[in-house]
A and B are shown apart, each in its own frame.
Chain A
Amino acid sequence: MTLHRVARRPAIVALALLGAMLLLAILAPFVAPYGFDVIDLAHRRAAPSMSHWFGTDEIGRDLLTRVLYGARVSLAIGIVSALMSAVVGVTIGAVAGYAGGWVDDALMRFTDAMLSVPRLPLLMIAAAVIEPGVPTLVVLVALAGWMEMARVVRADVQSIKTSDFVAAARALGALPRRIIERHVLPATFPAVSVAMTIAVGRGILLESALSFFGVGVQPPTASWGNMLYQAQTTMTTEPWLGIFPGMFIFLTVLCFNILGDYFRVSA
């Protein structure tokens, strides 16, 4: 990958867009043009216009407002689940890589097993089985995303543990726990941050797919995914209801992936 220097400009644009999106999501109650649940039966299924930039839904709620509120849910699920899968993935990867032997074998077999179950169907069943809600979804998405992280960290730890500074720490009598925490884990930080950036995007995609199938975020809470779930039956008559939420998913995930690529090359 050293051959391909990724341009800096797309990464800066992506970062700016994500910053704006995050800010709009946090400030949604203040910047949204209408109230979250304001029903306006006189303006049902209105096409995008100056008063309703993204149009309105079947009970006259402003779509732009709902997209902004949906951003809070979708972004939160993506970010928190990525953090959680980083914790699980780093722990499993570090233990496997550092311990080696049968511990490594057992943990990696388990990781491989998790990777060979088709991820989306597995999550769909889990989400259908467990009462769906935002916290459950975060955990489910996190549990489906730690495997890549574990592999990356394990490979890193395996090479770091043979390095001189770790040997020196061991010679000074440092215990394995301290060596892992102080010397090995900090060195995996670049790889983990790349994996996490990508994981946020993937988490948002997974959430939206689950919600799209009706087993994710449940109404009245709005997420980009469940807005699409409601829109799929009216795609031909009110296409804006599906186009805008999907575009936000696409743009957000795109920005996270561009950033991840940039980190990967510059790390």
Chain B
Amino acid sequence: MRFVGRRIAQTIPLLLIVSVLVFALIHATPGGPLTLYLENPNVRPEDIARLRRQMGLDRPLPVQYLSWLWSFVRGDWGYSYADGRPVMQRLLERIPATLELVGMSTILGVIVALIVGVVASVKRGFDRVTTLFVVAGISLPVFWFGLVLQLVFANALGWFPSSGRSSIGVGGFADQAAHLVLPAIVLASAQAAGWSRYLRGSMGQALVMPFTTAARARGVSEARIVLRHALRYALLPFVTVVLLDASIMASGAVVTESVFAWPGIGGLFTESLAKRDYTVLMAFLMCGSIAVATLNLVADVAVHAIDPRTRE
């Protein structure tokens, strides 16, 4: 319990640093958050001055930062410059689509990594091949892989729809599932590669530990040793790595959603970037960082709770 408290106490200053970074980044713009209006010839200078006053942009930066932070903590994330609706509402309505995509590709990635990682740790010949595939997976430019899959499986073969979350007028489970296939594969590809490599590494360690030798000496079958004894040992660090990769998953989701016109948070981010919709961008970065920090926290706490060796 004290460990949990200490980890939470560490996460808060971390998020404060992130908030300063995010705030500083947005206010480093030449026109500040009002760039969008400055570039619009229909907005008069006096309107801009009025907006600046209304939004408090004429106050000293530290004061602005504190008031922004306080509003953010209270859940008042401001309004989107693009369509005037509350930022939180815009983000919330996009969450289901992103959860669906990220969830599906995480499941897919974990399954592939489990199979590849375990088999590679046992079969030497297979290991050679997977090593190359794993490096290839890590090196793939996500957006290019997406474009190529669209080209082959959507345009040439017509097996799957090329973009969107459902077809207009069709709907239904089968239609939605078909839309999910290509983006989920793209988002899972890089992750599965890294995770397989990691699992293979810790499986390799587990298979030479004294407890596996002891099990072998007791006459336990090889399959049981691999799947019950070694895998159990290797699984905990594996789960941790999956959780720790949340940040990479977030970046991958932005790219994947953009390539496949997936109506999730990543798609909202690229739309907002094009429109320089700073309130949305700031909220996106903050939420992304909070999500990543929380998952890291969960990973640490879980390991601490399950593995007695990590406790002093």
Q: Do A and B come from one complex?
A: yes
Could you tell me which A residues sit within 8 Å of B by CB distance?
1, 3-4, 6-7, 10, 109-110, 112-122, 124-126, 128-130, 201, 205, 208-209, 212-213, 215, 228, 231-232, 235-236, 239, 242-243, 246, 249-250, 253-254, 256-258, 261
Is the beta-carbon distance between B288 and A118 smaller than 8 angstroms? Answer: yes
Question: How far apart sit A201 and B293, CA to CA, in the bound complex (Å)?
Answer: 26
> Nearest chain B CB to A1's CB is how many angstroms away?
6
> Nearest chain A CB to B51's CB is how many angstroms away?
19
In the complex, besides A118-B289, A242-B147, A250-B140, 19 extra interface pairs with C-beta distance below 8 angstroms are A3-B205, A4-B201, A7-B128, A109-B13, A114-B21, A117-B18, A118-B247, A119-B251, A124-B270, A129-B26, A208-B141, A209-B255, A235-B151, A235-B155, A236-B151, A236-B155, A249-B141, A254-B136, A257-B139
> Nearest chain B CB to A86's CB is how many angstroms away?
20
Closest 9 CB pairs of A and B: A246-B144, A120-B251, A118-B250, A113-B17, A254-B139, A253-B139, A3-B204, A116-B292, A118-B288
| Closest A residue to B270 using CB positions | A213
Question: How far apart sit A231 and B143, CA to CA, in the bound complex (Å)?
Answer: 12
Contact pick for A213, options B141, B258, B276, CB 8 Å: B258
**Would A115 and B247 be within 8 Å (CB), given that A201-B139, A228-B143, A228-B147 are in contact?**
yes
Is the beta-carbon distance between A116 and B255 smaller than 8 angstroms? Answer: no
Question: How far apart sit A116 and B292, CA to CA, in the bound complex (Å)?
Answer: 6
Question: How far apart sit A214 and B140, CA to CA, in the bound complex (Å)?
Answer: 19
Interface residue total, chain B, C-beta cutoff 8 A? 55
Is the beta-carbon distance between B285 and A121 smaller than 8 angstroms? Answer: yes
Residue pairs across A and B with Cβ atoms less than 8 A apart, 18 shown, are A115-B247, A117-B285, A119-B247, A119-B248, A119-B251, A121-B250, A121-B254, A121-B285, A124-B270, A129-B28, A212-B143, A215-B273, A228-B141, A228-B143, A239-B151, A242-B147, A246-B141, A253-B141
A-B contact count (CB 8 A): 140
**Contact partners of B147 in chain A: CB under 8 A:** 228, 231-232, 235, 242, 246
